[in-house]
Amino acid sequence: MKVARFHAPGDIRLEDAPEPTPGPGDVKIRVRNCSTCGTDVKIFRFGHHHIVPPRVMGHEVAGEVTEVGADVTGWLPGDRVQVIAAIPCGRCPDCRAGRLTVCPNQESIGYHYDGGFAEYMVVPAKVLAVDGVNRIPDGLGFAEASVAEPLACVLNGQELARVGAGDDVVVIGSGPIGCLHVRLARSRGARRVFLVDLNRARLEQAAALVAPDALICAAQADVVDEVAKLTDGRGVDVVITAAASGTAQEQAIQMAARQGRISFFGGLPKDNPIISCDSNLVHYRELTIVGANGSSPAHNRRALELIASGAVPVSDLITHRLPLGEVLAAIDIVGRGAAIKATIEP
């Protein structure tokens, strides 16, 4: 079978590999869709400390069960499934307390285990042990189901930031994650959602799909001033930074209303993670700043339901569908910001 393997930064190769054989606790799937995201671009450019090459990449996986290990119950060949990306251990104190997203022993598909840029993939027993395989509801396509993984991360972020009815929300960053944040915030009852990006063309492409209540191009206007104007000086209830930008995080603190919540959803480059924060704004306005680290198996399940029910539509966000042989082109498209979501169909 064909696979796309990471060998070193800048070196992803399309190779022939033997079909993997599932162990007694594993399930083998025929990958139907594995979507790409900014993380794939980062891995391609810089590698990742959790990836020991060579490794088959791809972590937004949906496919069809073809073989189940001798010890596996509940799954049969032909079952249509979506697979989690981040695998909590299920046993540590954090996992036992229900904090699966911050499990210190977390491993990931496409990092510690071969991923979905392949015709076939083995879902390791560890994934099944934490209920990390989800049945795709009838009528929902594999491509849409593969978007459950990033939506699960977005859901975790909005739960932690307590996005709810009546909230005014600013989303900074209009890539696929920003688009999912806009749609999820609406489904949770947000009153108005404002979308911000530095890149005007990208902002308008996203706005054409997700129709924010206002868009602000950060290259052309002072974002904090614009948000103040839109809210009569009050600021917004929630600010979500879906961009790897310290400036965006600093602005987020400035534009939050009293008792506002700020989600540092996107991380910063590891060599430049320090921002300046007016601590008195946090103190007197009773602000809450929260992080977000991936998603739990339960988030994946609920994200799949949100997509299947139509609460968070994703079909129109999938702008590019490419065969496995085009994986480098897909990563390039994502890296240039030319796609909302590019999915590989091996």
Interface ranges with Zn ion (CB under 5 A): 37, 39, 88-89, 92, 95, 103, 105
Amino acid identity for residue 23 in this structure: G
Closest distance of CB 25 from Zn ion, Å: 18
Beta carbon nearer to Zn ion, 88 or 260: 88
Beta carbon nearer to Zn ion, 147 or 198: 147
Q: Residue 215: helix, strand or coil by DSSP?
A: strand
Closest distance of CB 178 from Zn ion, Å: 14
Beta carbon nearer to Zn ion, 92 or 338: 92
CA 218 to each of CA 88, 192, 214: distance values in angstroms, whole numbers, following the listed order: 37, 19, 13
Closest distance of CB 291 from Zn ion, Å: 17
Q: How many CA atoms lie within 13 A of 262 on its CB side?
A: 22
Contact 159, 189 (CB under 8 A): no
Locate all alpha helices (DSSP H) within 47-133, ordered by sequence.
Answer: 93-96, 125-129
Closest distance of CB 288 from Zn ion, Å: 25
Euclidean distance between CA atoms 290 and 261, whole angstroms: 7
Beta carbon nearer to Zn ion, 96 or 258: 96
Beta carbon nearer to Zn ion, 92 or 228: 92
Euclidean distance between CA atoms 214 and 257, whole angstroms: 18
Paired strand residues for 261: 238, 288
Closest distance of CB 59 from Zn ion, Å: 6
Beta carbon nearer to Zn ion, 152 or 255: 152
Closest distance of CB 40 from Zn ion, Å: 7
**DSSP symbol at 199:** -
Euclidean distance between CA atoms 214 and 218, whole angstroms: 13
